Structure 1
Amino acid sequence: MNVKHKSSDTHPLSDLAYDWITLMQNKAQALVAYDQYIKDAEAANSPECAAFFRKVHDADKAQLEEAKQHLVAVLQGKMGSSSK
């Protein structure tokens, strides 16, 4: 997303904030998908696959939690540059 516009109306989100929001949305959607993958693996009687999907789910969940902290810091001006 390029926030540079020809008009004087600036976008309320920096590119960096937008990137964090997009990443968080993608991770959140992935968590929902992993829940289904786990159910599918369990229905197929494949505990190894279910365990792997849980591992990936847990890693993405932890990354989502960390991303929220980064986004808050960016929005508060504690991380990144607010100038464009």
Structure 2
Amino acid sequence: MDIGRIEGATRVCGKSQGFLGLPVRDSVRDCSVAGGKVPVMTTAWLPNPAELAAINAGAAIHVSIDGTIPSPMMLSVGPAPE
């Protein structure tokens, strides 16, 4: 997948460390489990045509996280490109 530019990005992470740079939108959401307002970082990812075909054929989306203790996360679908 290719890195997308999230709507309303508030910063770009990793570029100064030599990575491509990941646009991030910082926000806050209510979470009853964590107890109140929780900071959230949202990024956008764009599947290439082969990945999109695989997803449409029923392939799963895999999420890889460095480390051994994952933070809570959610996956959703953003708006369709114009």
Q: TM bucket by the smaller chain?
A: under 0.3
Bigger fraction of residues in strand: 2
TM-score, normalised with respect to structure 2: 0.22
Which protein has the larger Cα radius of gyration, Structure 1 or Structure 2?
1
| Greater RCO (Cα-Cα under 8 Å, separation 6 or more) | 1
